[in-house]
């Protein structure tokens, strides 16, 4: 049985939007729910694993990672409480995971059998169609996030990549002062650039009076 703490989290999970707590409980047997706890820096899904379930983060933070042919690790996404992973691959019919999903902190993950979402349950659950509608919206938003990353890493120089990334973060925050969701190492991995070279460019931009920053807080001047 899911604790009250995590039931409250599920109310804010986009997959269950428009479905109340009692209805969510009713859905559990239909969609093959199980919960698992993970330690920090533990792989939830490794590249090459069979994809059988969608993951929902009930607590903690995870990263979606991809290694290139040279062994360099790139961060595709940082995810937190209420967010999903593996749903795009599941619905695309990809049977083997092309990425690694690893915890950035200790995490609690709810797994759902995606095959039971896309097929009507034997109980003819009236909330099932709502789940499918919500999933389509989630996948659409994931595609937008991917386009944002492509916009950043598609720039020609490190400075242009940084400027594109910081501009997107500013637009999301609706303010010229904002926090980014990455450490410096994670930001370099996300932008697919060398960390030292990126730090040098950031320092130059600060010296030019273009930006101010302290750890994860940035301000575009």
Q: Given the structure tokens 């595609």, which residue do they identify?
A: 143
Polymer length in residues for the chain: 221
Choosing among 3.40.50.300, 2.60.120.10, 2.60.40.420, 2.130.10.10, the CATH entry for 4-145 is 2.60.120.10
Question: Which overall architecture, per CATH, does domain 154-220 show?
Answer: Orthogonal Bundle (1.10)
In this prediction, residue 17 carries a pLDDT of 84
Three-state DSSP at 26 gives helix
pLDDT (tens digit, 9 = 90+) per residue, 30-78?
777 888 999 999 999 998 888 888 899 999 999 988 887 777 777 788 8
- CATH 1.10.10.10 domain locations along the chain: 154-220
Q: 82 or 5: whose pLDDT is higher?
A: 82
pLDDT (tens digit, 9 = 90+) per residue, 133-162?
788 788 787 777 778 888 888 898 999 999
Average pLDDT of the chain to the nearest whole number: 84
Confidence band, pLDDT 50/70/90 cuts, at residue 122:
low
- CATH 2.60.120.10 domain locations along the chain: 4-145
Kind and range of the H or E run holding 24: helix 21-31
In this prediction, residue 126 carries a pLDDT of 67
- Using CA atoms, how far apart are residues 207 and 32, in angstroms rounded to an integer? 55
Q: 21 vs 18, 121, 131, 164, CA distance in Å? A: 10, 19, 14, 40
Q: 113 vs 48, 55, 89, CA distance in Å? A: 18, 9, 13
């Amino acid at each position: 049985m899911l604790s009250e703490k995590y039931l409250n989290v599920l109310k804010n999970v986009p997959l269950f939007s428009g479905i109340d707590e009692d209805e969510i409980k009713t859905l559990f047997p239909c969609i093959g729910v199980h919960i698992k706890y993970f330690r920090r820096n533990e792989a939830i899904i490794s590249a090459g694993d069979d994809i059988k379930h969608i993951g929902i983060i009930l607590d903690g933070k995870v990263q979606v990672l991809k290694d290139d042919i040279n062994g360099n690790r790139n961060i595709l996404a940082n995810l937190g409480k209420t967010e999903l992973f593996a749903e795009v691959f599941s619905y695309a019919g990809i049977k083997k995971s092309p990425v690694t999903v690893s915890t950035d902190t200790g995490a609690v993950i709810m797994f759902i059998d995606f095959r039971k979402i896309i097929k009507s349950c034997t109980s003819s659950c009236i909330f099932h169609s709502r789940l499918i509608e919500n999933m389509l919206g989630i996948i659409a938003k994931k595609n937008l996030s991917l386009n944002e990353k492509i916009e950043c890493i598609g720039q020609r120089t490190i400075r242009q990549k940084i400027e594109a990334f910081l501009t997107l973060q500013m637009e999301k925050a609706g303010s010229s002062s904002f926090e980014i969701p990455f450490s410096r190492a994670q930001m370099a991995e996300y932008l697919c650039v060398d960390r030292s070279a990126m730090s040098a460019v950031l320092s130059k931009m600060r010296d030019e009076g273009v930006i101010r920053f302290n750890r994860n807080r940035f301000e575009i001047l």
